[in-house]
Amino acid sequence: MAYPFETVKLDKGMYSESGSSFTKVLEKCDPSEQYKGTPLEHLDAFQRQLKRFDIKVKGADSDVVSKFFATWESAVLFPEYVARAVRQGMEESNILPFLTAAETRITGMDYRSIASQPVEDDKALKAVSEGSSIPETKVTAQENLVQLHKRGRMLVASYEAIQFQRLDLFSVTLRQIGAYINRMHVADAIDVLLNGDGNSNGAAVFTVGSNPISGAAGTLSYGALVDFWSQFDPYTMNTLLVGDAMADLLKLPEMQDATAGLTFQGTGKLVTPMGATLLRSSAVPAGTIIGLDKNYALEMIRGSDVLVEYDKLIDRQLERAAITSISGFAKIFQEASKVLAIGG
CA angle 31, 64, 1 (to 5 degrees): 35
Residues in the chain: 344
Which spans in the chain are helix H?
22-29, 45-52, 72-75, 78-91, 120-123, 159-162, 167-195, 222-229, 246-250, 258-267, 310-314
In this prediction, residue 190 carries a pLDDT of: 97
**What pLDDT, in 10s, does the model give residues 88-107?**
999 998 999 999 999 999 88
In order, the DSSP letters of 69-104 are GSSHHHHTTHHHHHHHHHHHHHHTT--GGGT-SEEE
Q: Does 159 score more than 80 pLDDT?
A: yes
Instruction: Tell me 160's DSSP state.
Output: H
Gap between the Cα atoms of 306 and 82, Å rounded: 9
Q: What is the pLDDT of residues 107-117, one digit of tens each?
A: 877 888 877 76
Contacting residues for 86 by C-beta, under 8 A, at least 6 apart: 174, 175, 177, 178, 181, 306, 308, 323
Confidence of residue 122 (pLDDT cuts 50, 70, 90): low
For residue range 296-331, list pLDDT tens digits in order. Answer: 999 999 998 899 999 999 999 888 899 999 999 999
**Phi, psi dihedral angles at 52 (to 5 degrees):** -60, -45
pLDDT in tens, 240-289: 999 999 988 888 887 766 555 556 556 655 556 678 888 999 999 999 99
pLDDT level of residue 43 (50, 70, 90 thresholds): very high
> Is the link from the previous residue into 234 a cis peptide, with omega within 30 of 0?
yes
**pLDDT at position 317, please?**
87
- Overall average pLDDT of the 12-25 stretch: 90
In whole angstroms, give the CA distance from residue 50 to residue 53.
5
pTM summary value: 0.88
| pLDDT for the residue numbered 266 | 62
Percent of all residues in the chain with a pLDDT value above 90, rounded to a whole number: 67
What does the pLDDT read at residue 30?
Answer: 95
What's the whole-number average pLDDT of the chain? 89
pLDDT digits (tens, 9 = 90+) for 179-202: 999 999 999 999 999 999 988 899
